[in-house]
Chains A and B, each alone.
Chain A
Amino acid sequence: MTERKEIRLAGLGGQGVVLAGVLLGQAAVDQGLYAAGSNSYGAQARGGGARADLVLDGQEIDYPHVQQPDLLVAMSQGAYDTYASGVAPEGRVLFDSGMVEPNAPHDRYGAKVTSLALDEFKNRQVANVIWVGLVAGVTGWFQTEVLERTLVSLVPERFAELNKAALAKGLDMGRAWEVA
């Protein structure tokens, strides 16, 4: 990846939006890219709107804020309603189809990520790592072995295997989207 790419992750406080952004940004730097991330969140620790923006580039980034995302992850209806219309014409909108009712026919990247985290991993908190896998799988912008290494470096050791499994699940689903 050498061209500038912009990612916006948005949802509610407590969904791990900010940590997902940090993970993707750190992974990008670990694979030799330039990355710039900025967050926005309400004063509430839980339940308010949360947003993590990330700019990736193969060269130094002049303007570090997202202007028109190439990829949006909408983890809540509010996030979808606020940000989906601002995505680049050729961009992708990923959304939690258990929580978001999309209103544009081209928004075909829906997955019940929150339910999946609860049903398959018995842990709501890995939903953001499934999202990270989905983003990497569908875009191909990240080296998966670097991403896994970065993930392990950022989470507590006792949760490493759980998070690796969640990442792998997301990667598989994202890759399947891309060929669909």
Chain B
Amino acid sequence: MPLTTVTNPVKAGSRYLSGNDAAAEGAIAAGCRYYGGYPITPSSEIMEYMSRELVPRGGAFMQMEDEIASISSVVGASWSGAKAMTATSGPGLSLMQECLGYAAFTETPVVLVDVQRAGPCTGQATKVGAGDIMAVKWGSHGDYQVVALSPWSVQEMFSLTVEAFNLAERLRVPAFLLAEEATGHLRERVDLPETLEIYDRDYVPKQPPFGCDAADGIPSMPGFGMGENLLVTGSTHDQWGYRKTEGPAFHDSLVRRLSQKVLSRKAEICRHEGYYLDDAELVVVAYGFTARAALRAVRQARQDGLAVGLLRLITIWPFDDGLITRVAQGAKGFLVPEMNLGQVDGLVRSAAGDTPVKSLTQVNGSTISPASILAALGEMR
């Protein structure tokens, strides 16, 4: 496996960084060598950083005419052999959906940072939201899988960007850093490591780039200019990339493999953290910035004598329903606070069995406070 330990190319140690700057540094650290983007609040600082730092480090930076061109250029750069990324927010994500499906279907490793703001549509451009949970997974047509990671701190804006690159390269999928305005614009102490574990895509010469024997296999990935005959198409294709728009077997096996290569590896991909879960009767299931408020609320509730805990989801997609089912067995109830109208709530409900689930939603452009979560927990007793 080409997972190697490298010296962190950005400044290690304790630093005071904004979340967006930390994501950009994480990309540099992961080996990103192409950024194509179109600026949009509240993600623009990532693009500004990359415009300064990428070229001096031997990479390429392009400001494209819109988000459609941005993601298309990122897919192209990835096939030229570069680790490639873009960053955007809700309206840009909507424009990227067609080519996101192209990336998934052509098994192109790309990283997208979505710094979520209050949608739908233009919404409140400078305010926080978390309404893109479903859009990153289901926004393009057809069946496919992506990876989406949810950072709750500036530290994780760095470390999960590195992880998003590692997973994109290893699985040959689009990988999202599903951030939020509140974390993108937060400044916080980070402790950056001296070394990092970096995954570089698997390449075996003369192997088929779009097929393998295993039903959940991940093929070798060549790049243009590497001396191979290479054909990349968004139409259904055989293992060498030749169009196969007739014949049920080609389409069936390809679509199933693209899902299975992610879903069969949930145990390796999915990460979470538990706080005070051992004896918890009520469990808050939270992610992203909201999990910070939830941790504060849970600690307060513990001081008040309530048996509550926090299950923090780090990986949103693929969704770890088995984790929810396991935690549900010891819990009397779940509380799911979200800065949307209940997008993860539905996923929790479908895995919680008989354990009651309460949804706490807030879509007013501000973060959910610890007091709101504490009050909702009080109502569940």
Chain A positions within 8 Å of B, measured between CB atoms, are: 22, 25-26, 28-30, 32-39, 43, 61-65, 67
Contact = CB atoms under 8 A, between A and B. Distances in A.
Contacts of B189: 28-29, 33-36
Interface string B341-372: 00000000000000000000000000101100
A89 to B, nearest CB: 17
B16 A63 contact: no
Contact of A35 (B16, B126, B185): B16
14 contacts: A29-B15, A30-B14, A36-B189, A37-B16, A37-B188, A38-B186, A43-B126, A61-B188, A62-B299, A63-B295, A63-B296, A63-B370, A64-B153, A67-B370
A63 B186 CA distance: 12
Contacts of A29: 14-16, 189
Identify the interface centre among A22, A29, A43: most chain B CB within 10 Å of its CB. A29
Contacts, number: 52
Nearest to A37: B187
Which applies to chain A's interface (DSSP): helix, strand, loop or mixed? mixed
A10 to B, nearest CB: 17
A141 B173 CA distance: 48
Interface in B3-25: 14-16
Given A29-B15, A65-B367, A67-B370, A36 B296 contact: no
A62 B187 contact: no
Contacts of A35: 16, 187-189
B292 interface: yes
Given A62-B292, A64-B292, A65-B367, A38 B16 contact: no
B14 A32 contact: yes
B182 interface: yes
A67 B182 CA distance: 15
Contacts of B335: none
Given A26-B16, A29-B189, A35-B188, A63 B292 contact: yes
Name the 9 nearest CB pairs between A and B, nearest first. A63-B296, A37-B187, A29-B16, A26-B16, A62-B295, A36-B188, A29-B189, A62-B296, A34-B189
Contacts of A38: 182, 185-187
B46 interface: no
B370 A25 contact: no
Given A32-B14, A65-B367, 7 more contacts: A30-B14, A35-B187, A36-B188, A38-B185, A62-B292, A62-B295, A64-B186
B293 interface: yes
A22 B187 contact: yes
Interface of B: 14-16, 126, 153, 182, 185-189, 292-293, 295-296, 299, 367, 369-370
B293 A36 contact: no
A33 B191 CA distance: 12
Given A26-B16, A29-B15, A29-B16, A64 B188 contact: yes
A30 B153 CA distance: 19
A117 B355 CA distance: 62
A36 B187 CA distance: 6
A38 B127 CA distance: 13
A61 B289 CA distance: 13
B14 A25 contact: no
A32 to B, nearest CB: 7
Contacts of B296: 62-63
A34 B369 CA distance: 21
B187 A25 contact: yes
Contacts of A30: 14, 16
A88 B348 CA distance: 38
A67 B293 CA distance: 11
Contacts of B295: 62-63
Nearest to B182: A38
A30 B189 CA distance: 10
Nearest to B15: A29
A167 B370 CA distance: 36
A170 B186 CA distance: 27
B9 to A, nearest CB: 21
A39 B185 contact: yes
Contacts of A61: 188
Nearest to A55: B188
A39 B186 CA distance: 8
Contacts of B188: 34-37, 61, 64
B181 to A, nearest CB: 10
Contacts of B186: 36-38, 64
A163 to B, nearest CB: 18
Nearest to A42: B126
Nearest to A23: B16
Contacts of A43: 126
Contacts of A36: 186-189
A43 B50 CA distance: 24
Contacts of B182: 38
Nearest to B187: A37
A38 B295 CA distance: 19
A25 B295 CA distance: 23
A31 to B, nearest CB: 10
A25 B299 CA distance: 25
A138 B15 CA distance: 26
